[in-house]
Amino acid sequence: WGVLLRPDRQGQPRYAGPEVLKKLGCLARGEGGRDTLRLACHLCGDDCRRVIRGDVDRVRHLHGLLGFGRLQLNPTKANDPGGWEPAAAAEGVRAVATALPEVEFILQLNEETQALFERLFHDPSCPAPTNLVVLLDASCGLGKVPDAWARPPEGVRCGFAGGLGPDTVLAQLDAIAAACKDSGSSGSDMPQSVWIDMESGIRSQESDRGDIFDLERVRKVVKLIRGSGFLKG
């Protein structure tokens, strides 16, 4: 389960307010006698800026508050990350990811972040942190299916996002599988599994409540995938 964090929009649709965040944190920490919630926080705006500037204290504070296991960085124009330079941003991301090895850090990868990806994963003098992975999202978080899915970077664990939901997921899983297959057969360097990410496709418009997270659409996606044969184990 994922939650968007952007301080200037907190409490607006898609951006949880303080009370919801408090409840999510309790669930993620396994408090209250319930099953532990597997939580990912997706950082936008100032929170994302602070990570790419290497603000370890800010991320530790958020981790203590919310207990997330994964943290996604969305440093794209749609998410107002401010100006950043790839070399300095890579240094900041490395510092934060290294300081919190128990957290999996996710870089949203697209044309806007390609230079940052190159600095993080293709610098022979400074290998990427082992807890850093990527989400392939050509639409930069805008929920649009790409004309063609990008091939997974070799040797990097990755996920896919863009226009996925109950109406599209099965056809797009076939296309994603083809992209993974086309990336080559490099043996142990190929990721053993991928994940998919969706937001817009599992929301509904209601006249009295506006744009809301729709658990029924989530259930439809789960049912479709469970019957698809894509899951292993």
Tell me the pLDDT tens digit for each residue of 11-39: 988 999 999 999 999 999 988 777 899 99
Mean pLDDT of 159-181: 94
Highest mean pLDDT among 102-111, 138-147, 222-231: 102-111
51 versus 140: the higher-pLDDT residue is 51
For residue 186, the model assigns a pLDDT of: 42
Residue 65: pLDDT over 50: yes
Model confidence, pTM: 0.92
Residue 192: pLDDT over 80: no
Of 117, 185, 209, 208, nearest to 156 (Cα)? 117
DSSP three-state, residue 179: helix
For residue 207, the model assigns a pLDDT of: 64
Mean pLDDT of 139-149: 90
Lookup: tokens for 30: 């396994």
Dihedral over Cα of 69, 75, 77, 81: its sign: positive
**Strand-strand pairing, 132-136 and 2-5:** unpaired
Lookup: tokens for 12: 């607006």
Instruction: Report CA 30 to chain centroid distance, whole Å.
Output: 22
Task: Quote the CA–CA distance of 27 and 39 in Å, as a whole number.
Answer: 9
Q: Are 197 and 137 in contact (CB under 8 A)?
A: yes
Residue 190: pLDDT over 50: no
Kindly state the helix (H) or strand (E) to which residue 211 belongs, with its residue range: strand 210-213
Q: Are 18 and 47 in contact (CB under 8 A)?
A: no
Q: Are 13 and 7 in contact (CB under 8 A)?
A: no
Q: How confident is the model at residue 137 (pLDDT cuts 50, 70, 90)?
A: very high
Bridge partners of 161, per DSSP, are 197
The CA-atom distances, in angstroms, between 233 and each of 69, 157, 229 are: 22, 19, 10
The CA-atom distances, in angstroms, between 88 and each of 92, 93, 96, 127 are: 6, 9, 13, 15
Instruction: Report CA 11 to chain centroid distance, whole Å.
Output: 20
Enumerate residues 6+ apart whose C-beta is below 8 A from 34: 27
